[in-house]
Structure 1
Amino acid sequence: MAEFGMTYRRPDFKSKIGASCWHDVEHSSHVDISHLQEEKLRRQLKYLEENSEFYRRKFTEAGIKFEDIQTLKDLQKVPFTYKTEIRDSLSEAPPFGHHRAADMSDIIQMQASSGTTGSPSYVAMTENDVVMWNEMSARCLFAGGIRPNDLVLHGFSLAKGFVGGVPLTQAVQYMGAVDVPIGADGGVDRLLRAIVDLKPRAIIGAPNFILHLAEKAPELVGCKASDLGIERLIVGGEPGGGIPAFRRKLEELWGAKCCELLGGTDLGVTYWSECDDQSGMHMLCPDYIITELYDEASDSIIPFEKGAEGELIYTAIGREASPLMRFRSGDHIEVLGTDCACGRTGPKIRCTGRTDDMLIVRGANVFPSAIQSIIGDMTPETNGVMRVFADFEGHTTQGNLKVIVERGADQPAEKDPILKSEIETRLRNALVFRAEVILVPADSFDKPGAAKVALTLREKPEFL
């Protein structure tokens, strides 16, 4: 895509209006994709050998040469790159670390991760990198139902260098749509007023915040969210969009179809997205990212086959300023399928949680998002809101896991013993761990704002 150069809009965006996908590679065969990836991988390795101090050192320490890696299978000879290495690299060689592989004079933009698991990662981009990010995001937004000429309300935060801010605005413009750049930071009132005034077709944002926006509509603009004319909800950045009960609630409140995105600051804004089939997020950018599925139990790379689970490992191909090889994303996923009615050939996944969020309860691996899914299915007895209270050091406990659950708005407190027992039984049967459920009134937790919702608390809430 570099031949287009920097532009607000991709020059041929109008040709995409009636297309079945944004780019033909989304429908390409696995054989063709493998050949393309290997060709681009060899070019990327040559680029890294010439420009990356970080990977020259890493290859030397591993006892391998760049020319040893010729195929996708060979890629497994390369050691993983860990987030801690990137943080060390950034602190040792600011502003963009030893892994910066482009001249500072060629860097035109930077972004930062949310920093929820430590110091933010600062990511540099060249002009070609920005166009690549735009192209990847356009494919995902298109798959989720956004089209050129749409008006799109921006419901992610626009602050702190977050990739859901400026880069997503750029991607919406690139695909020929119009971004309404208010952002979650602008507040619920202003966002709802913009919907009334401008009548956008779609909203992009974090699922919990978009749900809160719908719940506040009657109070702030005098009508239900479903009366505001929104047709598409594109959500990501935190668990929720792929949880069936949560998705149903979003769609019912807005009267709109909801599709989920997945990405990450280190590789781009988004590169996985659901299509209209809503049966899992497709990998839509195999020409820019090689994706492997790592099974930690067997310490091996496993195929993307239905039912397989593991951590996503990413290698950027074509990346200039902050390239990564075999980067451990921390995203733990389940493969839901390998084909789709939409014709896209990328595997379909759902993210079950992040490895750094996972708790081990008496030997059982537990993701807070999995607990959220079960609680969400228990409405109206609960209102679907929960938090894990991890009152122990680290990620492992031999005790029962404390789970704080908001009861439904119309659920009497007198029935708490029955509800508590039912929730604990469901969690034990579905997730094979014992919970100590603590029921609290509806709306005990703060409503979502611009920041991501943290499902795990390390300090006891003031209201307990």
Structure 2
Amino acid sequence: MAVPFSDRVWSEIETIDPADARRIQDERLQQQVAYLAARSALYREKFAAHGVDPARVRTVEDLADLPFTEKHELRESLASTPPLGAHLAADRSEVVQVQASSGTTGSPSYVGLTPSDIQQWCEMGARALYANGFRPGDWMLHALGMSKGFVGGLPVVQIAQYMGIVDIPVGAEAGADRLLRVLADQRPDILIGTPYFLAYLAEQTPEVLGAAASTFGVRALSVGGEPGGGLPAVRDKLQGLWGATSREMLGGTDFGVMYWGECEAQDGMHFHSPDLLVAEIIDPETGEVLAPTDGAEGELVYTALGRQASPLLRFRSRDNVVVTGTDCACGRTGYKIRCVGRTDDMLIVRGINLFPSAVKQLVSEFVPVTTGEMRIRADFEGHTTQKPLHVVVEAADDLDEAGRAALVAGVEGRVRSALNVKVTVELLPAFSLKRPDHVKVQLVERV
């Protein structure tokens, strides 16, 4: 069990001067690139193909001259050199754990971990969860997926144990009824899960347990696994239902469970681990590196520092983010972001770029005449269309015809004025759309 640095932050590195953090990154980047050149067949090949001299990579700024690593390269690497790919950079005998991605965008990616890698994952996760309000001694109900090697499962248990938190590892696969029975029996202090599943759990609590979710004493929620937890309407709903704080975290299988976490200010997730990871923001169209200034928007690109088994260099995450701040009253010096969607989820409607989560936020503004649930039903190939988007929205059951007509007109008008995109809205009965469990919500349904 590790010990937090202070009442405010888990690690002293979170409050370090950015210039000092950059010096640490430069030193560790040199070490990691040298390690890749010596130990990774994938990166030796990439360096040779792109004319990269590893010895000339001295600073984080030098990363801009290096090639990206794409998801398809990892899939090809895993297929050609099983079980962990040509990018495995440690001896197989050093690997003690394997984790897998959710596989929602293709075949799962498998990631090997040495004991040192596990310690890194735990340290990064502890920083994020501590910012989310989780504390040693808390009891945590585990509502992320526990199966399929997903990083929301065993690695979250490991992070909790590293922090001195008691994990109750039920998992989302057990279903709402089972989780809520455990909630009533164990009275956890904290919950972790996807935002929409935790909202669904709270909505089911009166029926299953005969009382509101807010009566069971949960103090704090950590939500992630999909964009949306930072949307004001989603957060307000979660906090109202549970009577608890709700803060976001963000991560991914390839580098760690979570390495961004939202503090008590609740205006974006801090980057907590400059000593273990380099996070760049790029223009997804041009690849140009963008400065992380207020309002900057782009795609996150990551480079591991100090990883042994499956280190990656300039990996394109496809997470599209907006920088919400560069300082904070909490004392953390890592800039803050909000994830607004995935670059590969983006739709282009008559030349306008649109993230489905933006439509979700607007629909959520119409609660309680809607449940807040919606899906875009795409009847076109790829990501581009010239036609209005077909959006299905769950309406409250007690709406009369006039109310339903007003809701359709209201949502269509709100989307058009806010996003400059035309949609046609179809109303569905409340709770007719499939609710998420341990998987990510897919806001776009292909028809």
TM class by shorter chain equals over 0.9
- 1:93 is the counterpart of 2:78: no
**In structure 2, what is the equivalent of residue 367 of structure 1?**
355
Q: Which amino acid aligns with 2:180?
A: L
**In structure 1, what is the equivalent of residue 320 of structure 2?**
332
| Partners of 2:417 and 2:401 in 1: CA distance | 25
**In structure 1, what is the equivalent of residue 17 of structure 2?**
29
Does 20-29 or 403-412 show the bigger shift?
A: 403-412
**In structure 1, what is the equivalent of residue 193 of structure 2?**
205
| Partners of 1:412 and 1:114 in 2: CA distance | 41
RMSD: 1.1
Q: Secondary structure at the match of 1:356?
A: helix
Which of residues 231, 253, 266 in structure 2 aligns to 1:265? 253
1:234-313 to 2 correspondences below 5 Å: 234-313=222-301
Which of residues 152, 159, 169 in structure 2 aligns to 1:164? 152
- 1:450, CA displacement in angstroms? 2.6
**In structure 2, what is the equivalent of residue 175 of structure 1?**
163
Q: Secondary structure at the match of 2:158?
A: helix
- 1:411, CA displacement in angstroms? 2.2
| Partners of 1:357 and 1:409 in 2: CA distance | 31
Which of residues 12, 30, 40 in structure 1 aligns to 2:28? 40
**In structure 2, what is the equivalent of residue 190 of structure 1?**
178
- 1:417, CA displacement in angstroms? 2.5
- Please say if residues 284 and 343 of structure 2, whose CA atoms lie closer than 8 Å, have aligned partners that are also in contact: no
- 1:124, CA displacement in angstroms? 0.6
- 1:441 is the counterpart of 2:429: yes
**In structure 2, what is the equivalent of residue 378 of structure 1?**
366
How big is each residue's C-alpha offset from its partner over 1:297-337, in whole Å with a ceiling of 9 and x where there is no partner? Answer: 45410100001000001000101111000000000000001
- 1:197, CA displacement in angstroms? 1.5
- 1:432, CA displacement in angstroms? 1.5
- Please say if residues 383 and 409 of structure 1, whose CA atoms lie closer than 8 Å, have aligned partners that are also in contact: no
- 1:410, CA displacement in angstroms? 2.7
Q: Secondary structure at the match of 1:346?
A: coil
**In structure 2, what is the equivalent of residue 6 of structure 1?**
none
Q: Secondary structure at the match of 2:96?
A: strand
Is there any run of 5+ residues in structure 2 with no aligned partner, and where? none
Does 265-274 or 441-450 show the bigger shift?
A: 441-450
**In structure 2, what is the equivalent of residue 113 of structure 1?**
101
- 1:148, CA displacement in angstroms? 0.4
- Please say if residues 228 and 340 of structure 2, whose CA atoms lie closer than 8 Å, have aligned partners that are also in contact: no
| Partners of 1:48 and 1:451 in 2: CA distance | 33
TM-score (normalizing by structure 1): 0.95
- 1:455 is the counterpart of 2:438: no
Q: Secondary structure at the match of 2:311?
A: coil
- 1:133 is the counterpart of 2:121: yes
How big is each residue's C-alpha offset from its partner over 1:127-167, in whole Å with a ceiling of 9 and x where there is no partner? Answer: 10011001100111111000001001101010111100000
| Partners of 1:90 and 1:354 in 2: CA distance | 23
- Please say if residues 152 and 203 of structure 1, whose CA atoms lie closer than 8 Å, have aligned partners that are also in contact: yes
Number of residue pairs aligned between Structure 1 and Structure 2: 447
Q: Which amino acid aligns with 1:140?
A: A
Q: Which amino acid aligns with 1:399?
A: K
Q: Secondary structure at the match of 1:350?
A: strand
| Partners of 2:435 and 2:78 in 1: CA distance | 34
How big is each residue's C-alpha offset from its partner over 1:205-225, in whole Å with a ceiling of 9 and x where there is no partner? Answer: 011111111111111111110
Identity %: 50
Q: Which amino acid aligns with 2:79?
A: S
Is there any run of 5+ residues in structure 1 with no aligned partner, and where? 1-8, 460-464
| Partners of 1:256 and 1:413 in 2: CA distance | 36
| Partners of 2:122 and 2:41 in 1: CA distance | 27
Does 247-256 or 401-410 show the bigger shift?
A: 401-410
Q: Which amino acid aligns with 1:110?
A: V
How big is each residue's C-alpha offset from its partner over 1:46-88, in whole Å with a ceiling of 9 and x where there is no partner? Answer: 1111101111110110011101100111111110000011111
- 1:380, CA displacement in angstroms? 1.4
| Partners of 1:401 and 1:192 in 2: CA distance | 37
Which of residues 48, 53, 60 in structure 2 aligns to 1:65? 53
1:334-349 to 2 correspondences below 5 Å: 334-349=322-337
| Partners of 1:412 and 1:322 in 2: CA distance | 57
Distance 1:161 1:407, change over 3 A: same
- 1:409, CA displacement in angstroms? 3.3
How big is each residue's C-alpha offset from its partner over 1:221-271, in whole Å with a ceiling of 9 and x where there is no partner? Answer: 111100000010110001221110111011001000000010010111000
| Partners of 1:93 and 1:420 in 2: CA distance | 53
Distance 1:117 1:145, change over 3 A: same
| Partners of 1:36 and 1:411 in 2: CA distance | 59
| Partners of 1:249 and 1:409 in 2: CA distance | 19
| Partners of 1:105 and 1:299 in 2: CA distance | 37
TM-score (normalizing by structure 2): 0.98
Q: Secondary structure at the match of 1:196?
A: helix
| Partners of 2:57 and 2:333 in 1: CA distance | 26
| Partners of 1:410 and 1:341 in 2: CA distance | 44
